[in-house]
Amino acid sequence: MIERQVDAIIGLQMGDEGKGRFAHQLAANYPMVARFNGGANAGHTFSHNGREVNTHQIPSGITHEGVVNLITISSYVDPKALLEEANGLWEIGIPVSGRNLKVSDGANLVLPHHIMRDNIRELSKDGQGSTGRGISFVGSDKYERIGVTLNDFINDPQLVKSRVIEGIDGVNRSLDELFVSVMEDDDLEDSNREQLLENICNAVGVANLEWASWKEATGEIRAYETDTFEFIHEALGKGQTLLAEGAQSSGLDIEHGMRPETTSSHVTIGGALSSIGVGPRAIGEVYGVAKLPKSRVGGTPESFPTRITDEEIAARIRGNAGDIDGEYGKSTGRERMVGWLDLPELRRSVLVNEVTQLVFTKLDCIPRAGDYTQVATHFVGEDGQPVEIAPNFVSKVRKMKPEYEQLPTWEEDISGVRRFDELPENAKAYLEFIKSQLGVEITMVGVGPESEQFIDMRVAT
């Protein structure tokens, strides 16, 4: 019987919590690391041998010798992006092969027309702030049971080719319709119209070219093809352990996230169980990662009720685009919204994931707010009653008002602190307040952007 052999690390907000660095650190302690959701629309950043490493689909354990990295069945695999990522890691001295990277043969593949359709939608008035990686469209095909898996490609490439060509032909027809609508839209400024028309024309008539390059990349990633379910259970049966690595975060979960502004996969611990293929008794520790203060790239301000609207404060907290801890998307480069810590949101995520250990990042950035920082302790509904646990619908949240506790910050530089008892009194009080509100132990706290800049409260101090 498999019991408590699978630990998980999951973001508790709406992404960008900095969980990549902690996933990378924790991964060194496990023989297996499994990415269980999402696709190339996510990004993890961590430091390895003094240099910044960005991964998108490959798990964070790839830099650790002897660790097997698995992309399990619920993930969406972009073959071209995965091959590019693997080659990029090779170039900086990190080997990637079928020995240390395995891709589920049942994972759905991102096809060329998924990406094209995604970008068409973003060109239109129905844009959702997508990363343009085709994720919602591959997810749609998956649940309509017309998606293409790696196993499908291996067994019947001609059938896959016909689906790709048919899909791209459909995209071209949509582009023709979009071209006409742009030409006839009297509300568009001429400069915007010209840019849209240029983008549309560049996307037309690429079916055979896209199929050829996609087929070549998919053929190369066959070297990683594995029945990850069988591989994992064989290893667990021998007593090995596994770290489940979430790509996006609970606030983006297709079920429990801030609907409708979610991703297209299951991001919570339930998604990990399903994708890896284990039952609840297999789960041991669940590390929940949150950022101090919160940030998000994409989405609407309505889904971010604690967003800081004072641009001067927001700019100080956001930092610079070129900095490793700058609040800019790793996959998109877009400027992130920043805001105060939202405890109602964290309560929901803690419950849905049964978080056993809290991990916080960017404690060192709290003083950027000024003499005081704010923490949303609850919302107030239209009826004037307090709401302790955040709802997961934008339509509900927009009718609520966050209520804040104001806490003093500190002047000391804490980037070199490695023990909780060495923190300034106000920093300790800040963390103790959060712990008392959430009722979960805080075990790791980031005090700077580098991998070694954190306090580990799990070890004796």
The answer to whether residue 16 is catalytic is: yes
Separation CA 321–CA 186 (nearest Å): 36
Contact 443, 359 (CB under 8 A): yes
Q: How many CB atoms lie within 10 A of CB 385?
A: 9
The residue type found at 64 is: H
Q: Among 95-104, 332-341, 452-461, which range has the highest average pLDDT? A: 95-104
370 three-class SS: coil
Q: What are phi and psi of 282, to 5 degrees?
A: -75, -20
CA distances from 338 to 161, 302, 365, 377, 385 (A): 44, 13, 12, 17, 27
Q: Is 452 exposed, middle or buried (0-12, 13-18, 19+ CB in 10 A)?
A: exposed
Q: Rounded to two decimals, what is the model's pTM?
A: 0.89
Which stretch of 117-131, 141-155, 228-242, 404-418 has the lowest confidence by average pLDDT? 117-131
Domain ranges of the chain: 6-94+228-456, 111-223
429 three-class SS: helix
Find, among 19, 45, 56, 22, the residue nearest to 290 by Cα. Answer: 19
Q: What confidence score (pLDDT) does residue 205 get? A: 46
Q: What is the DSSP letter of 5?
A: -
Tens digits of residue pLDDT in 217-266: 999 999 999 999 999 999 999 999 999 998 889 999 999 999 998 888 89
| β-sheet bridge partners, residue 357 | 287
| Residue carrying the six token digits 């609840």 | 280
Q: Which of 16, 105, 118, 364 is catalytic?
A: 16
The answer to whether residue 44 is catalytic is: yes
CATH code, 6-94+228-456: 3.90.170.10
CB hemisphere CA count around 344 (13 angstroms): 24
| β-sheet bridge partners, residue 387 | 379
Tens digits of residue pLDDT in 197-209: 666 555 544 555 6
The helix-helix angle for 228-237 and 269-276 (nearest 10°) equals 100
Averaged over 31-54, what is the pLDDT?
82
Contact 125, 93 (CB under 8 A): no
CA distances from 33 to 8, 68, 102, 278 (A): 9, 6, 10, 14
Contact 446, 364 (CB under 8 A): yes
- Residue 60 token pair: 């964070």
> Where residue 194 falls among pLDDT bands split at 50, 70, 90?
low
Q: Which of 7, 24, 44, 56 is catalytic?
A: 44
pLDDT at 26 over 70: yes
Bond from prior residue into 367 cis (ω within 30 degrees of 0): no
Contact 339, 308 (CB under 8 A): yes
Contact 347, 285 (CB under 8 A): no
- Residue 293 token pair: 């203060």
